[in-house]
Structure 1
Amino acid sequence: MKAPLVEVKDVRKSFLVRKGWFGGDKYLRAVDGISFDIGKGETFSLVGESGCDKSTTGRLVTRLLAPNEGEVWFGGQNISRLSDHQMRPLRKEIQMVFQDPYASLNPRMKVKEIVAEPLLIHSKLSSHERDKLAAELLEEVGLNSYHAERYAHEFSGGQRQRIGIARALSVRPSLIVADEPVSALDVSIQSQVLNLLQDLQERYGLTYLFISHDLSVVEHISDRIGVMYLGTLVETAGKDELYERPLHPYTQALLSSVPVPDPKLKKERIILKGDIPSPVDPPSGCRFHTRCPACMDICKQLKPEFLEVEPGHQVACHLFDENVRRMG
């Protein structure tokens, strides 16, 4: 693996949802002890069902949220406890592309102002120089320079997402956190935006944290993939390894649900029963045991360790823990 640009070490993030008497406060445990790293120039994807707090993880990496416990390292520096003032120089290195291209662009600003807005803080360019750079960036993402004088409502969803990408590129970041960047787009437009992201990565040596619930999208763009369930990581592996040999029962169920293009081809699907438990009151032991078809008694009592079963392939499941197998 390439040298890590991002290291997430046993990070936890909780939110107070109800204040109680005599210390009976209720907390939503959004992210509960996850660890992963992202190499320079790599695309690491987080996948999982809605509500597993993939987006919260992305906001922890960008330091839009501060972790309660654990550490987030960027470029060899621990950014977990930096103040807003200390983070400010690093903001240009870490940019974000948001899920909703309609809500993430200011409707009162012209496109050239939207794209050049980060340069007001992170550069000393003149107004003319910012406008020129904005026009160049629009060309880079597949739009025309004359689009700079228009407003966001004059564009389609795919074009708006290209504007959001141009804005993220304006300060030449090292890391881009792409939070469901194509989920609001038509399928035909999704592939265009994904190809654009890959072209820009190759051109500028960008590193991506790509967040998605769509496994077909993730397969197209990822180098490595982490599978999240209820605020925890259950499996990480290289893209090819994960798709060819998923180990965790949850990963197997997710992959079995991916549609097959050929209607004549029959595919065995794993149907998970029940709903995702509440992160306010998560189950004991393995968080997946309430829906797992391979659940054992120990799964209900003991949280599985995140073990490397093969080089570069980690899984948190008692089925692959030799100590548990010996006990059984």
Structure 2
Amino acid sequence: MSGVQSTSGTPLVEVKALRKSFAVRKGWLGTSRELWAVDGISFAIRKGETFSLVGESGCGKSTTGRLVNRLLRPSAGEVWFNGQNIGGLSEDKMRPLRKEMQMVFQDPYASLNPRMKVKDLVAEPLLIHTKLSGAERDKLACKLLETVGLNSYHAERFAHEFSGGQRQRIGIARALSVRPSLIIADEPVSALDVSIQSQVLNLMQDLQEEYGLTYLFISHDLSVVEHISDRIGVMYLGTLVETAVKDDLYDHPLHPYTQALLSSVPVPDPKLKKERIILKGDLPSPVNPPSGCRFHTRCSACMEICKQAAPEFKEVKPGHQVACHLYN
């Protein structure tokens, strides 16, 4: 386990039947249709743990992250943070909660203003959420840079003067500046070299121990997720198909989609042969998803009921939930 597990198991975040749609225009007549990026997912994140969302590109995991911290408003369902339903809060009431929920984005360079010095980038949240003086903000910014493995003299530089890994460290320092409870990390290492990925992941784990952080970690890379997660949720076409404790999911995956994903993870041993599960067909369009189970068009275990009825997402053994007719 990677995180500082809460002894009480109290959820910091609860997502209940969350849905989000976007209007999509098609054809020369501009006909509008709804695309359900997130369609009825539910999960909880306990204080001090790392909960990861994995799945193919377009499955809705990044949209889920933006719904959790209210960068997007849900079309239906609820998001509870620390016992409060934040889905319907006005921006004025949401503002005090912003410092409790910070984000680390995929592209560290795109998320850093190239015209601002690093000390100002890191201290910007302090300007909004605290009453510290300029000198106090600068001092704290330098301390945070040292916390994430940089030096205080880096504070006078600009973002373009750093490598990708260093930029991501700056992004993490900025997220830490207001001492949040939750950090939503959206593909935070996918743009980095493998050796740098390991350094950033180890840094995030060290900071979790030091600051008592809770992570919602979003990634498509199952090797990365295995390194940092406590629990994992697998998404497919806007829905959750399986959630479990990391070791249970990797050792005993239940859903055919999870089994296919895990079979694609490279094994660092050329002598060890691993059977790949090759999914048939293409990923269906979220504008017009399949009836019944959304995975049935690509599933080798598809039954007639899979085409007709969506499976219930239920617990099949302690801490392990799956949405599949094979376990009904």
State the TM bucket, normalised to the shorter chain. over 0.9
What corresponds to 1:254 in structure 2?
261
Q: For residues 145 and 282 of structure 2, what CA distance do their matches in structure 1 show?
A: 43
What corresponds to 1:324 in structure 2?
none
After TM superposition, give the deviation of residue 94 of structure 1 in Å: 0.2
After TM superposition, give the deviation of residue 190 of structure 1 in Å: 0.3
% identical equivalent positions: 84
Q: For residues 128 and 19 of structure 1, what CA distance do their matches in structure 2 show?
A: 54
Stretches of structure 1 that go unaligned for 5 or more consecutive residues are 322-328
**Alignment TM-score, normalising by the size of structure 2:** 0.96
Residue number among 168, 172, 180 corresponding to 2:179 in the alignment: 172
What corresponds to 1:268 in structure 2?
275
Q: For residues 293 and 99 of structure 1, what CA distance do their matches in structure 2 show?
A: 34
What corresponds to 1:39 in structure 2?
46
Q: For residues 109 and 25 of structure 2, what CA distance do their matches in structure 1 show?
A: 32
Where 2:20 maps in the other structure, the secondary structure is strand
What corresponds to 1:112 in structure 2?
119
Deviations 1:235-274 (A, max 9, x none): 0000000000000000000000000111111100000011
Q: For residues 7 and 66 of structure 1, what CA distance do their matches in structure 2 show?
A: 15
After TM superposition, give the deviation of residue 84 of structure 1 in Å: 1.0
Q: For residues 16 and 110 of structure 1, what CA distance do their matches in structure 2 show?
A: 39
For 1:1-328, list aligned pairs within 5 A: 2-18=9-25, 25-321=32-328
Where 1:134 maps in the other structure, the secondary structure is helix
Stretches of structure 2 that go unaligned for 5 or more consecutive residues are 1-7
**Alignment TM-score, normalising by the size of structure 1:** 0.96
Deviations 1:40-74 (A, max 9, x none): 00000000011101100000001000101000000
Q: For residues 3 and 90 of structure 1, what CA distance do their matches in structure 2 show?
A: 18
Q: For residues 281 and 176 of structure 2, what CA distance do their matches in structure 1 show?
A: 42
Where 1:148 maps in the other structure, the secondary structure is helix
Which segment drifts farther, 169-178 or 10-19? 10-19
Q: How many residues align?
A: 318
Deviations 1:17-53 (A, max 9, x none): 1289xxx740111000000000000000000011101
Q: For residues 285 and 111 of structure 2, what CA distance do their matches in structure 1 show?
A: 29
Q: For residues 58 and 48 of structure 1, what CA distance do their matches in structure 2 show?
A: 13
Q: For residues 183 and 189 of structure 2, what CA distance do their matches in structure 1 show?
A: 14
What corresponds to 1:326 in structure 2?
none
Where 2:89 maps in the other structure, the secondary structure is coil
Q: For residues 280 and 82 of structure 2, what CA distance do their matches in structure 1 show?
A: 42
Where 2:302 maps in the other structure, the secondary structure is coil
Deviations 1:267-311 (A, max 9, x none): 000000111100001110000001011001110110000010001
Q: For residues 157 and 248 of structure 2, what CA distance do their matches in structure 1 show?
A: 45
Where 1:290 maps in the other structure, the secondary structure is helix
Where 1:118 maps in the other structure, the secondary structure is helix
